[in-house]
Amino acid sequence: MSSMLIAALLSYLLGSIPNGLWLGKAIWHTDLREHGSHNIGATNAWRTLGKAAGISIFLLDFAKGALSVYLGSVLVGTPAFMIVCGILAIVGHSCSLFLKFKGGKGVATGLGVMVMLMPLPALLVFLIWLILVKLTGYVSLGSIVAAACVPLLAWLMNYDLPFILFGLLAAVFIIVRHHSNIGRLLNGTESKIQAAKR
């Protein structure tokens, strides 16, 4: 098999690993899909299972994004293919092989991908996310605005076209994955973030 195919398959497979669901079940005996926002991401883990769950699931979801881009760089080595691996990790997270092609919203995995592809914009979107979540209490709003800033920052910071296109694609994908959050934000029923006491 060509190294491109291996890197692509591994990235999708890595992205597919549903850390939130599996860890939630194994350690906290809880199926995140039956609680809170029903999402398997770090935010719903924080909300449902507490801070330790939220942070560890964030780190694991982040790591699979970063690791996929790293695999792309080691096995193939071109920036374009590193971007392909990153996209496949995000798609794997949201359309998981293990969850009948369902899954999360791609935020933590997307940040892991970004750290490897564009470290400075990654730091900036993380700060934008943090400020918005602190100010409004809505994680989804922070994620949506932060995602929208990715292509803008890539363009402003003179990244090549494939990076700007990656940003556009990732932003649209993440925003679409937040469609139910957008509905709740608009009708005032989105819940503000609070960690479960454990």
Q: What does the per-residue mask of binding to ligand NKO show for 100-139, with x meaning CB under 6 A? A: -----x-xx-xx-xx----------xx--x---------x
DSSP string covering the chain, please? Answer: --HHHHHHHHHHHHHH--HHHHHHHHHH---GGGSTT---SHHHHHHHH-HHHHHHHHHHHHHHHHHHHHHHHHHT--HHHHHHHHHHHHHHHHS-TTTTT----SHHHHHHHHHHH-HHHHHHHHHHHHHHHHHH--HHHHHHHHHHHHHHHHHHTT--HHHHHHHHHHHHHHHHHTHHHHHHHHHT-PPPP-PPP-
170 in contact with ligand NKO (CB under 6 A): yes
Shortest reach from residue 4's CB to ligand NKO, in Å: 22
* Chain residues 66-95 in contact with ligand NKO, contact rule CB under 6 A: none
With CB under 6 A as the contact rule, which of the stretches 4-12, 36-44, 67-75, 76-84 interacts with ligand NKO? 36-44
Shortest reach from residue 143's CB to ligand NKO, in Å: 3
23 in contact with ligand NKO (CB under 6 A): no
The contact set with ligand NKO (CB under 6 A) reads 37, 39, 41-44, 58, 105, 107-108, 110-111, 113-114, 125-126, 129, 139-140, 143, 146-147, 150, 170, 174, 181
